[in-house]
Structure 1
Amino acid sequence: MKRQKRDRLERAHSKGYQAGMIGKAKENCPYHDNDTKAHWLGGWRSAIDDRTVLGVK
């Protein structure tokens, strides 16, 4: 069970990162569960930081 939960959260983080890299707004988060949403937003923030470092608009 723990592995499935971790995989789900890792996938949410990855999807958030992908959304951030293509420039989607954080309001587009598809998750409503607080834990999953937090991981998606964490990925999104990482992507926004990476885009800033790379100079992508």
Structure 2
Amino acid sequence: MKKHKRDPSQQAFSRGYKAGISGRSRDLCSTQVINQRAAWLNGWHEGRNDQWEGMTGVSGIHKNPTVHAATANV
């Protein structure tokens, strides 16, 4: 199966979501590109909100953007 290159903003959002859902600090954003940083922070905010609402593990699998990306190609 071929891998398709995803949009860098989508990748940044996904990485930010993972950081937020795991409770990491938003200071860990590694990119300085404005659009990607904004996408990362948006993902981080959504991940933190999901963590605060208890959407971790199996109960939050429907919200995880990495799961949706993996199943969309199937």
TM-score w.r.t. structure 1 length? Answer: 0.81
Distance 2:11 2:40 in 1: 8
Structure 2 gaps, min length 5? 57-74
What residue identity is the alignment partner of 2:32?
A: H
For 1:55 and 1:42, locate their aligned partners in 2 and report how far apart those are by CA, in whole Å: 17
SS at match of 2:23: coil
Partner of 2:52: 52
Q: CA RMSD in A?
A: 1.9
Higher helix proportion (structure 1 or 2):
1
The alpha-carbon deviation at position 55 of structure 1 amounts to 7.4
Shift of 1:23: 1.1
Gaps of 5+ in 1: none
- Name 1:30's counterpart in structure 2: 30
CA shift at 1:21, angstroms?
1.1
Report the counterpart of residue 17 of structure 1 in structure 2. 17
Identity %: 31
- The structure with the largest alpha-carbon Rg is 2
SS of 2:7's equivalent? helix
In the alignment, structure 1 residue 42 sits paired with structure 2 residue 42: yes
- Which structure's relative contact order is higher, taking Cα pairs within 8 Å and 6+ residues apart? 1
